[in-house]
């Protein structure tokens, strides 16, 4: 029996909600995100690369990433070091190039998403598609537009826009941590479940961790900052009613930065 269009849309929204809420069990061998429509060619690439045996040693690759990252004394140099790094498996899976970051490298806020998508891969900058435009509107409405630097947990587009694996995030982590150390931000905003799990080192779903202030401390322990996680802008496009929660988190971030509990209304976004 074929589902009606409105039934299909409702099912996609429900599946997206449970995925971003942290549901990690299903009735197949592995979770299947059926909310993302992927071109047949990209589906084939995803299937072909999902079971690829790593050709590099994780320990060696992470050590090399840490060496390259620690040698960078500026954010510009760090972006170059990340682009030169070949130890992440995503480098050889069809990405056009390294998508490191955009914004003010001296900003007081560091924003961390999960991975570049197709539009980001083409533009060479993170969060430039529909989700990025929504993020920019929210930042502007909260008075934070020129006070952020935006990056991701991985810097190459995963095949089919899939979620990056914990291994892919781990091998890129030295670059993200070095950005954190170089910036010494006053606050960090994590966008979505994948970023929250990687940075906070938790298995909790985004609905459980969002809106809560935690602490991020560098490996050496000499840099720390308060961290808050919120819903990914791509999720908000599918679930507009969730904007209220994300907006509350954004205002909480602005208040933490400025010591001001008042802010614009949700209708301004």
pLDDT digits (tens, 9 = 90+) for 188-216: 999 999 999 999 999 999 999 999 999 99
The rounded distance, in Å, linking the Cα atoms of 34 and 51 is 19
For the full predicted model, state whether its pTM sits above 0.85: no
Provide the domain count of the chain. 1
Whether 236 is in a domain gets the answer yes
Residue 57's pLDDT band (cuts 50, 70, 90): confident
Residue 240, domain member (yes or no) = yes
pLDDT at 220: 80
Question: If you average pLDDT over residues 36-41, what whole number do you get?
Answer: 48
Q: How far is it, in rounded angstroms, from Cα 211 to Cα 41?
A: 38
- Residue 226, in any domain of the structure: yes
Domain membership flag for residue 212: yes
Within a domain: residue 94?
yes
Note the pLDDT of residue 221.
76
Supply the pLDDT for residue 35: 46
Q: Over 90: is that where the pLDDT of 58 sits?
A: no
CATH at 209: 3.40.470.10
Q: Is residue 72 part of a domain?
A: yes
Using CB atoms within 10 Å of the CB of residue 203, give its burial: 0 to 12 exposed, 13 to 18 middle, 19+ buried. Answer: exposed
pLDDT at 63 over 50: yes
Of residues 51 and 98, the one with the higher pLDDT is 98
Q: Check residue 116 and give its pLDDT.
A: 97
Confidence of residue 37 (pLDDT cuts 50, 70, 90): very low
Of the pLDDT bands very low, low, confident and very high (cuts 50, 70, 90), residue 261 is very low
pLDDT exceeds 50 at position 71: yes
Structure-model confidence comparison of residues 61 and 261, the more confident one: 61
- 79-110: b or e for each residue (b if 16 or more CB lie within 10 Å)? bebbbebebbbbbebbbeebbbbbbebebbbb
Residue 239 has pLDDT above 80, yes or no: yes
Segment 72-131, tens digit of pLDDT: 999 999 999 999 999 999 999 999 999 999 999 999 999 999 999 999 999 999 999 999
pLDDT given at position 15: 73
Q: Quote the pLDDT of residue 38.
A: 46
pLDDT recorded at residue 134: 98
CB atoms within 10 A of CB 189: 24
Distance CA 218, CA 232 (A): 24
Reported as a pLDDT band with limits 50, 70 and 90, residue 155 is very high
The whole-number pLDDT of residue 23 equals: 64
Domain range spanning residue 264? 56-268
Asked whether residue 81 is domain-assigned, the answer is: yes
Rg (CA), the chain: 18
**Residue 36: per-residue pLDDT:** 47
- Determine what percent of the chain is predicted with pLDDT higher than 90: 72
**71 domain-assigned:** yes
**Confidence class of residue 59 from pLDDT cuts 50, 70 and 90?**
confident
Bridge partners, 217 (sequence order): 224
Return the higher-pLDDT residue of 219 and 220. 219
């Amino acid at each position: 029996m074929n589902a009606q269009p409105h039934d299909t849309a409702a099912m996609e929204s429900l599946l997206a909600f449970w995925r971003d809420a942290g549901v990690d069990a299903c009735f197949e061998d592995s979770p299947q995100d059926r909310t993302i429509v992927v071109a047949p060619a990209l589906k084939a690439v995803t299937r072909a690369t999902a079971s690829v045996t790593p050709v590099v040693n994780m320990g060696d690759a992470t050590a090399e990433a840490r060496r390259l990252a620690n040698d960078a004394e500026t954010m510009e140099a760090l972006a170059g070091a990340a682009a030169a790094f070949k130890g992440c498996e995503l480098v050889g899976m069809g990405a056009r190039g390294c998508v490191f970051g955009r914004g003010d490298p001296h900003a007081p806020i560091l924003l961390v998403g999960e991975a570049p998508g197709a539009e980001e891969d083409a533009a060479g900058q993170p969060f430039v598609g529909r989700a990025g435009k929504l993020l920019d509107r929210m930042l502007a409405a909260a008075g934070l537009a020129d006070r952020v630097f935006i990056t991701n947990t991985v810097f190459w587009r995963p095949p089919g826009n899939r979620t990056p694996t914990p291994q892919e995030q781990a091998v890129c982590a030295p670059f993200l941590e070095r950005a954190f150390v170089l910036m010494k931000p006053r606050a960090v905003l994590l966008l979505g479940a994948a970023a929250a799990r990687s940075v906070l080192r938790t298995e909790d779903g985004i609905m459980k961790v969002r809106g809560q202030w935690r602490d991020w401390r560098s490996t050496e322990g000499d840099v720390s900052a308060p961290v808050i996680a919120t819903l990914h802008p791509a999720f908000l496009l599918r679930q507009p009613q969730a904007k209220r929660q994300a907006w509350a988190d954004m205002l909480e971030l602005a208040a933490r930065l400025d010591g001001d509990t008042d802010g614009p209304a949700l209708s301004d976004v």
